[in-house]
A and B are shown apart, each in its own frame.
Chain A
Amino acid sequence: MPGKLKAKIVAGRHLPVMDRASDLTDAFVEVKFGNTTFKTDVCPKSLNPQWNSEWFKFEVDDEDLQDEPLQITVLDHDTYSANDAIGKVYIDIDPLLYSEAASVISGWFPIYDTIHGIRGEINVIVKVELFNDLNRFRQSSCGVKFFCTTCIPQCYRATLVHGFVEELVVNEDPEYQWIDRIRTPRASNEARQRLISLMSGELQRKIGLKVLEMGGNAVVGYLQCFDLEGESGLVVRAIGTACTLDKLSSGSAPNTNTHMHPNTAPASNACNSPSKDGKEPVFVEDLPSSSGPPTPFRALPTSSSSPPPFSPSKPCSRQSSSSDTDLSLTPKTGMGSGGSAGKEAGPLRTLLRQQTQTALEQRGASSSGLLLNAREFPFFTLTSFPPGFLLHVGGVVSARSVKLLDRIHNPALGNTRSYKLLDWNSVTADEPETRDAWWEEIRQEIKSHARALGCHAVVGYSESTSICEEVCILSASGTAAILNPRYMREGCLDIGCTDHRFEDPSPPSCGFCHIPYDELNMPFPAQLTYCYHCRRQKVPDVLFTTIDLPSEAAVAGKGCLIQARLCRLKKKAQGETNATAISNLLPFMEYELHTQLMNKLKLRSMNALFGLHIQISVGENMLLGLASATGVYLTALPAPGGIQIAGKTPGDLSNEHISSIQKRINDTIAVNKELYQINPPELAEEGVGSPIPEPRHRSRLFRSHSESSDELSELDLSHGKKDAFVLEIDDTDAVEDIHSLLIDAPPPTGFYSCNTENMPGISNWTSGVQMFTSVRVLRLSNANLTNQGLNKIFTDLCENLLKSFYFKLRSMIPCCLCHLNFTVAVPEEELIQVTVTAVAMTYDKEQTQEKTAEKPVNKGSLEAEEQLQFPLELCADSSSSNIQTASKISGVAESTNISPRAASVDYGSFADRCSTWLELLRLKAHTIRRGSVKTSRRTQSLAHSVSSLERCSPLQEGRSRSLRSSRSFGGSSVTVVKMTPLSFLPGIRIIKYLGIINMFFIRETTSLREEGGVSGFLHSFIAEVFAMVRAHVAALGGNAVVSYSMKECVFMENPNKNQAQCLINVSGDAVICISETDQESSASTANTGQTGGGGTDGAT
């Protein structure tokens, strides 16, 4: 079905001087789409040419519109020799293809050259006329909206969530073709940029088709990644969550009050009422009865004639080819391989084998009752959910697999459209089915892990790869969860675990913590206690998840970023040997990372991790592991016990030494408690003598049950005997480990940090926003480094980065670094690269202090409650006093007992370690087979609470604050475009999503020194990328990018040749947003608005 694309070239400015003689340029422009090219006239002798061209019209298929970018090339006319290219602009037409988004792209675009960077700007206008017949798409999927945001976008309402969509496209990398030897670097880079642009377009179109097939109209949490496999090709893959979204009536949205109390909200809110606040995703169905205030929120099932909002994810993948056997490397020994492993890994291996077997048995048993379609993946890339959606959380599930990349010599497949567009493509092409099969395998693994945790869904799901030479580690992780069965379409998900428990109304603030699995038949040993909140159901002692903290969760104090960092040396090897070596290292790394996380969590006196992301990067001679998460104290979970140091062999280390370490640890814990204002209802220490041995007793009791049902029982025996987390020091390694624990410096006063969307404990954002990207590369000069030495270096690298951020952003204090996203890579043998993208946001300290000051008035047990209510309260009416807070707190005061935790980690031997480690890492799920290593771990449950219409999340509260600032640049023509990796901007309301921004750039230089060395080169490249993103957003009529992320930053250098190259891929959602105060709004909004005035300096 055809459409007409129209483009007009208006003018240029700040063009570079191309003619040295005259110091001027004779510029003209080529406009290319598909195979059609138009040219403007030459505008002689001007650095600010005015072309004012006619409208160039392209008549094309909408399929092409989706795949192809509009390519604008600015050239310098030369009478005698070839015209010199000044640079190019690629414009993605996609945002023009759906009706609600942008209608025109118009604005100044930086003219970009892969060798010289930005060289002037060009003003272009682009329009599309689609000949409408939207129902009969075959190949195209125009109209499907894409969002990077991992929650239901503001100003939309999800009427249906269909489920997981995935697709991948494979092609050969132009950089590795024979032709690359004879063409210029510029030509090669441009071929690559263009190819990736085409592939992303194609991928998006294909995913769109799947969505349409499922009956959806949007993809939320769209995550697209590139695998630069080098010789073996280029993979572009994407996952997302298909949804049917309804746009909330824009007319009424601005009038609604974000902070409306549930009680005051009209009953009709629940459903289709347009008066519902614009950003609140509303599900059609009513939520299960709530424990909230007596809202007039009666169910509306009558009105919800629409089908249940959940439809099964359809089997939407291709036939899985069996060819993967050729590729899968490594010992065919399968699980048995463990037994043959010698050396230090011995004990663990044996253990592994045992556990693997049991795990398999167990899984077999538990899955027998399931009737899930093998191809169906109940995965959700979303990380935060509408209230009532998420019932319980089982814990983190992850799987990793090591694969050998191999070039397959297949004749090119003619069926993919992108192929025909690429003339050089005739050589070979990789088979997408292979990669598909790999991922399918991993997803299956994840699914079975989730099932073992008694969960039928995986939320906060993501996939990633790390490639070094021909070895590739595929990783996937998510959080096993139980979603509200009411939202499920019949037969959609595993119903095996819906038991009576879920009928119980769980309080919104703790429900998600309740364990989803059967306590008598636990998939792993864990310490369960009754929920400290409702006292009715069991909760685990610690909870790890990959999702964001549910807004209604009850937390004490503030959250903080917790990182575990690890380096492991590995022998250089080739092919299968290498892959096996990596496979063997992986479980150890995961184990260590978890130990670190657990210790650091306890050191901060917290009991839950959100947004957990574990990255394992492979290099030629080492593996890097980096786990980041946001720690928080959930009041529903038991208080974490302290950490105890014990010397195993008293002769080795003096008691003094041990006690000094112990003291340091205790001090650190005390300091941290204060720092993060963790004042749970009752402190663990105080609980020792208090009359609450019951929970402990119960858990003990329970444990014995689990022993009987668990073949690993003997390994658990150690648990109940120790009251605190014990670290035993028996060698210098252990000492090192403990020291490294204590290295993490707390952020300086006035700073907080987290890697999630919202910062637990902070919600009163003011308008200061500063998004930044930082890259640091370290060269290890010393060739014979030990693991310990490397760890230290790596840890210091991360810590120093954080310190640098704090210092740079000190003018924003009080402020919080949100969404700190660390990416590690080993670009070369002795290089470690860390890339960080985050946003610093200012908040109003006054209000916090006010609250703190008032605290002593309340009883200790109420404090946590108050902290929980605090954001809600602010939302409701931030200008009012806090008196209401206290009044809101009701009936939960008794849930204050906390028993000392018992668990232990023993640094003595692997066997011991594993025994205790079981609490955290589900080694039994480690399987090694056919060259792939998969690990899985469990953690605990996070359940979603019901109801809470009063879901006044920190985000919303933040949004209500004013952001007057920086709208216009003092009369200049440049629109200020804010960027944030979060899905919201404080004090600002998103009124329109303009489409996804997904850009890929390559920059290369052959004059590295002249450009200021590697730092100068990368600095200007990143600045250029930001500039191009901003320009595209501004041209779409937008003024902000939300859910921004830098997916890829591949940097290569060759200082000897004075060369460097860098690839950057960024994505995000372009939006139009308005300051909350810009609109006529209700009084309370205005009130809150006023309080958030200042701090526009740092505003992005």
Chain B
Amino acid sequence: MSVELDVFVGNTTIMDEEVYQLWLDGYTVNDAVKVRMEGGVMDECEASKDVLLSDTMDQYRTFQMCERLLHSPAKLANQLLFQIPPHRQIMLIERYYAFDDTFVREVLGKKLSKGTKKDLDDISAKTGVTLKSCRRQFDNFKRVFKVVEELKGPLVENIRQHFLLSDKLARDYAAIVFFANNRFETGKRKLQYLSFQDFAFCAGQLISNWTVGAVGESSIDPSYNMVEDMDVDLDKEFLQELKELKILITDKDLLDQHKSLVCTALRGKTKVFPEMETSFKNLSRGLINIAAKLTNTKDVRDFFIDLVEKFIEPCRSDRWTAADMKLYLTHYTNSAHILDTFKHQVVWDRYMGVVKSCIFKMYHD
């Protein structure tokens, strides 16, 4: 005797958030039943294991049928097959597109290709996220990437509108897309201490300051905006202009002047002043060299590793505190304005603004 067929269909589609999460997390039906039993649902309604199994299967089926719609969330609102109240739709979408930070950390900056997808089982083993869930998350990244790649306009807004995601999630996806597009290196051992949120913050900074769209309204010809991908790619012109900053380290006078200005401002304000004074030139060279090399795609990829190697690590070995760092970079940036022979203030600000906030974010253990 066996149950051959067992379905339950409600006019309003019934979805249990807990089961949805289990499904998203890639639990098999049997594992999900176990988890639910341990969770104590059974006591709620005098249910037996069979009841739980039947319910879980039903829900899994429903989710599978919904999955197709979730791939283009806008459809969910005007499809006719499932009657789902709006707040539920939002929940379904938000959770479907949610991801594990540990997982995304592994694929961040990697090409969203078949090759990467093949490595998902390794990532799954490493992160403890089930392979099924990894696949879903990876496919989500890829899907979002594919859609926004072809769209014009602000990246975050595009993601939010096309995938009906919350602002926070849309920003995270923007970061993922941005990293994937520019293939930033994030996997090196030295970068391991950085969390996805650190990178997401930096990505946000880069997107809003270094891309074409970033300065769209203000400085650049609006008609030009309309034709280019604005948010996904870094502003080439700006990257070119960054080369000009080299003068700060190549011109001996400027370098010295800069150093003395900074040192004057810092003196007495921090315990690590001597170290700052000694390493000023090295640090300045590091930052300016990073800027100057950004025209090379290869070096763009290494942006974060460079920041760590050329700046963060030396500082850390000198035992700078986060406050020291803040102090130093603020004065370092501002002092350049006083240099009368330095003409590239706008580019300098645009560069340092981002670098400063990225380093602040990245300067932790």
Note all chain B residues with C-beta closer than 8 A to A1031: 80
Check if B9 sits within 8 Å of A1023, measured CB to CB. Answer: yes
Assess whether A745 is in contact with B46, with CB atoms less than 8 Å apart: yes
The residue that B80 contacts in the complex, of A807, A808, A974, A978, with Cβ under 8 A, is A974
Interface majority SS on A: helix, strand, loop or mixed? mixed
Q: Does B342 contact A (CB under 8 A)?
A: no
Residue B323 interfacial (CB < 8 Å):
no
Closest CB in chain B relative to A997 CB, distance in Å: 14
Binds A, one of B52-60, B206-214, B227-235, B279-287: B52-60
CB atoms of A1012 and B5 under 8 A apart: no
Contact A774 B7 (CB under 8 A): yes
Q: Are B3 and A808 in contact (CB under 8 A)?
A: no
**Is B11 located at the chain interface by the 8 A CB criterion?**
yes
Cα-based distance from A804 to B47 in the complex (angstroms):
8
Question: Which residues of A sit under 8 angstroms from B6, Cβ to Cβ?
Answer: 775-777, 1015
For B62, the chain A residues whose CB sits under 8 A away are 1019
Residue pair B80, A118 in contact (C-beta under 8 Å): yes
| Residues of chain B lying within 8 A (CB to CB) of residue A971 | 77
Check B4 against A803 for contact (C-beta < 8 Å).
Answer: no
Task: Check B219 for interface membership: any CB of A closer than 8 A.
Answer: no
Q: Which residues of A contact B82 (CB under 8 A)?
A: 1023, 1027
Q: Assess whether A262 is interfacial by the CB under 8 Å rule.
A: no
List residues 76-112 of chain B with CB under 8 A from any CB of chain A: 77-83, 85-87, 89
Contact of A1100 (CB < 8 Å), options: B12, B61, B80? B12
* A1016 interfacial contact with B, CB 8 Å: yes
Q: Is B1 an interface residue (CB 8 A)?
A: yes
Are B7 and A1019 neighbours in the complex by a CB distance under 8 Å? yes
Give the complex CA separation of A977 and B12 in angstroms. Answer: 9
When C-beta atoms are compared, the residue in chain B nearest to A1028 turns out to be B80
Please give, as numbers and ranges, the residues of chain B lying within 8 Å of A686 by CB-CB distance: none
**In the assembled complex, A969 has its CB within 8 A of some CB on chain B:** yes
Contact B80 A1027 (CB under 8 A): yes
B226 interfacial by beta-carbon distance below 8 Å: no
The number of chain A residues touching the other chain, given as a range, is 35 or more
Report A-chain residues with C-beta under 8 Å of the C-beta of B89: 970
What A residues does B55 contact at CB under 8 A?
804, 807-808
A979-B5 in contact (CB<8A) = no
**Highest count of chain B CB atoms <10 Å: which of A810, A1051, A1097:** A810
The complex places the Cα of A1019 from the Cα of B1 at a distance, in Å, of 22
A14 to chain B, nearest CB (A): 6
Q: Is B190 an interface residue (CB 8 A)?
A: no
User: Which residues of A in the span 1018-1038 have a Cβ within 8 Å of any Cβ on B?
Assistant: 1018-1020, 1022-1024, 1026-1027, 1030-1031
Cβ A807 vs Cβ B51 within 8 A: yes
Chain B residue, CB-CB nearest to A751: B45
Contact B45 A770 (CB under 8 A): no
Is the pair A1012, B80 in contact by a Cβ cutoff of 8 Å?
A: no
Do B44 and A770 touch across chains, with their CB atoms under 8 A apart? no
Is B1 in contact with A780, judged by CB distance below 8 angstroms?
yes
B9–A774 contact, CB under 8 A?
yes
A564 to B8, CA, bound (A): 23
Q: Is the CB of B5 within 8 A of A772?
A: no
In the complex, B75 has a CB within 8 A of chain A: yes
CB-defined contacts of B44 to chain A, threshold 8 Å: 807, 810
B64 at the A/B interface (Cβ < 8 Å)? Answer: yes
Is residue B48 contacting chain A, with contact meaning CB distance below 8 A?
yes
B3-37 residues with Cβ-Cβ distance < 8 A to A are 3-14
B2 proximal to A (CB < 8 A):
yes
B273 to chain A, nearest CB (A): 58
Q: Are B12 and A1020 in contact (CB under 8 A)?
A: no
Complex contact A807–B52 (CB within 8 A): yes
- A1027 / chain B contacts, CB cutoff of 8 Å: 80-83
Q: Which residues of A contact B58 (CB under 8 A)?
A: 808, 1019
Min C-beta distance of B197 to chain A, whole Å: 30
B50 at interface, CB cutoff 8 A: yes
A residues 964-999 near B (Cβ < 8 Å) are 966, 969-974, 976-979
B220 within 8 A of A: no
**A414-446 interface bits toward B, Cβ cutoff 8 Å, 1 = contact, 0 = none:** 000000000000000000000000000000000
A306 touches B (CB below 8 Å): no
Taking CB atoms, residues of chain A closer than 8 Å to B54 are 800, 804
Q: Is B65 an interface residue (CB 8 A)?
A: yes
Give chain B residues whose Cβ lies under 8 Å from the Cβ of A496. Answer: none
Q: Which residue of A lies closest to B59 (CB)?
A: A808
| B8: contacting residue among A808, A973, A1020, CB under 8 A | A808
A1012 to B4, CA, bound (A): 13
Given known A-B contacts A778-B1, A782-B1, A800-B51, A808 and B9 have beta carbons under 8 A apart: no
Per a CB cutoff under 8 Å, which of A110, A778, A804 touches B81? A110
- B78–A972 touching, CB < 8 Å: yes
> Provided the pairs A804-B55, A970-B86, A972-B86 are in contact, do residues A1015 and B48 lie with their beta carbons within 8 angstroms?
no
Cα-based distance from A1027 to B10 in the complex (angstroms): 11
Q: What is the CB-to-nearest-CB distance from B79 to chain A, in angstroms, rounded to a whole number? A: 7
Indicate if the CB atoms of A803 and B9 lie closer than 8 Å: no
Report how far A921 CA is from B6 CA in the complex, Å.
35
A775 and B12 contacting across the interface, CB-CB below 8 Å:
no
- Complex CA–CA separation, A782 to B2 (angstroms): 10
Q: Does A781 reach chain B (CB closer than 8 Å)?
A: yes
One of B75, B77, B78, B81 near A118 (C-beta < 8 A): B81
What is the CA–CA distance of A803 and B47 in the complex, to the nearest angstrom? 7
Partner of A1012, one of B10, B47, B61, B85: B61
- Give residues 1073-1100 of A contacting B (CB, 8 Å): 1096-1100
Binary contact track B132-164/A, C-beta < 8 Å → 1, others 0: 000000000000000000000000000000000
CA separation between A1014 and B48, bound complex, in Å?
Answer: 23
The reply to whether the CB of A917 lies closer than 8 angstroms to some CB of chain B is: no
Given contacts A774-B7, A803-B51, A831-B4, contact A1099 B45 (CB under 8 A): no
Bound: A804/B1 CA distance, A: 19
Q: Are B50 and A800 in contact (CB under 8 A)?
A: yes
Complex-state Cα separation, A968 to B61, whole angstroms: 27
**A774 x B11 contact (CB < 8 A):** no
A776 to B2, CA, bound (A): 11
Q: Is A773 an interface residue (CB 8 A)?
A: yes
Chain A residues with CB below 8 A from B5, complex form: 775-777, 833, 1014-1015, 1018, 1051
Q: Which residues of A contact B78 (CB under 8 A)?
A: 13, 972-974
What's the Cα separation between A1014 and B82 when bound, in Å? 19
Min CB gap A824→B, angstroms: 14
Once the chains bind, are A1016 and B11 in contact (CB under 8 Å)? no
B51, B57, B81, B86: the one contacting A969 at CB < 8 Å is: B86
Asked if A770 meets B80 with Cβ closer than 8 Å, knowing A779-B2, A803-B46, A969-B86, the reply is no
Complex alpha-carbon distance, A1027 and B83, angstroms: 8
Residues of B within 8 A of A831 (CB): 4
The residue from A781, A805, A810, A1016 contacting B2, defined by CB atoms under 8 A apart: A781
Q: Give chain B residues whose Cβ lies under 8 Å from the Cβ of A581.
A: none
In-complex Cβ contact of B79 among A14, A745, A775, A809 (8 A): A14
Chain B's nearest CB lies how many Å from the CB of A801? Answer: 9
| Residue numbers in A under 8 Å from B50 (CB-CB) | 800
Q: Which 10 residue pairs across A and B have the least CB separation, nearest first?
A: A970-B86, A972-B77, A777-B5, A1022-B9, A1100-B11, A772-B10, A777-B4, A771-B11, A1019-B7, A774-B8
Chosen A-B contacts, 6 in total, with CB atoms closer than 8 Å, are A771-B10, A774-B7, A778-B4, A1014-B5, A1023-B81, A1099-B12
Other than the given A14-B79, A780-B1, A1022-B9, 20 more pairs (CB < 8 A) read A14-B75, A121-B80, A776-B6, A778-B2, A800-B50, A806-B45, A806-B46, A807-B47, A970-B87, A976-B83, A978-B11, A1012-B64, A1015-B6, A1015-B7, A1018-B5, A1019-B65, A1027-B83, A1030-B11, A1051-B5, A1100-B10
Residue positions of B touching A, CB distance < 8 A: 1-14, 44-48, 50-52, 54-55, 57-58, 61-62, 64-65, 75, 77-83, 85-87, 89
Residues of A within 8 A of B (CB): 13-14, 108, 110, 118, 121, 745, 748, 770-782, 793, 800, 803-810, 831, 833, 966, 969-974, 976-979, 1012, 1014-1016, 1018-1020, 1022-1024, 1026-1027, 1030-1031, 1051, 1096-1100
